[in-house]
Structure 1
Amino acid sequence: MPAEDYDIEDQGDLQYVVRLSDGEEDVETWFRLTPSVLEQLGVESGDEADLVAETVDFMKKHQDVPDFPDMVEIEDVLATYPDYEAAVTRRR
């Protein structure tokens, strides 16, 4: 579930827009998922927004909100952070 400092909106086609705030700056970031990454991470149909929320929480531990990119491809997060897959699959 989304935290108090961000909002997640389903845009269809496995794309989500997330509006975040660090208390000083507001940021809008798009998250794009693919069927293959959902399968790899064990995400069931209907739980995609939960994965986005888990990814936002994970990324906030690694970078400041104003530094979030405009577009986040979950495959890129998997490739960049070796601990990402374990972090988001542990909760399932």
Structure 2
Amino acid sequence: MAENIEVEPLGEHDYLVRARYPEGVAESRFRAGPNLLEQLGASPADEQRLVEHSASYLLAHQPVIDLPPMVDLEDLAAVYDGYLAEMRKAMTGP
């Protein structure tokens, strides 16, 4: 599991995610489309927070070193059955 995650906005729904772990840093580009935000009932202002939660979710399911170079959040929703429910909970929680 990553010790910490940094999310840097790149514009146009793209983000650079850096996951630091004891052996180094893994970087991946994440894409958050407006359709997923709408599906989750989140506003565009919540997009970066959704990426942060999504990166944590993904890293809970696979090792940091296996982080793909590009992650589309809609693909996570298609691959992981619990992803949407977990993101709804994360986005509406405190």
Greater share of helix: 2
1:31-46 map, 5 Å: 31-46=30-45
Q: Any gaps of 5 or more consecutive residues in structure 1?
A: none
Question: CA offsets per residue over residues 18-77 of structure 1, 9 Å max, x none?
Answer: 111221131110001111111111221211110011101111110011101000001110
TM-score normalized with structure 1 length: 0.90
Q: Any gaps of 5 or more consecutive residues in structure 2?
A: none
- SS of 1:18's equivalent in the other structure is strand
Structure-1 residue corresponding to 2:82:
83
Q: Size of the alignment, in residue pairs?
A: 90
Structure-2 residue corresponding to 1:67:
66
Moved over 2 A (4+): none
Change (3 A) 1:54 1:39: same
What is the identity percentage for the equivalent residue pairs of Structure 1 and Structure 2?
Answer: 38
CA RMSD, aligned part only?
1.4
Structure-2 residue corresponding to 1:17:
16
Using the TM superposition, give the Cα deviation of residue 4 of structure 1 relative to its aligned residue in structure 2, in angstroms. Answer: 5.9
d(CA) in 2 for partners of 1:23, 1:5 = 10
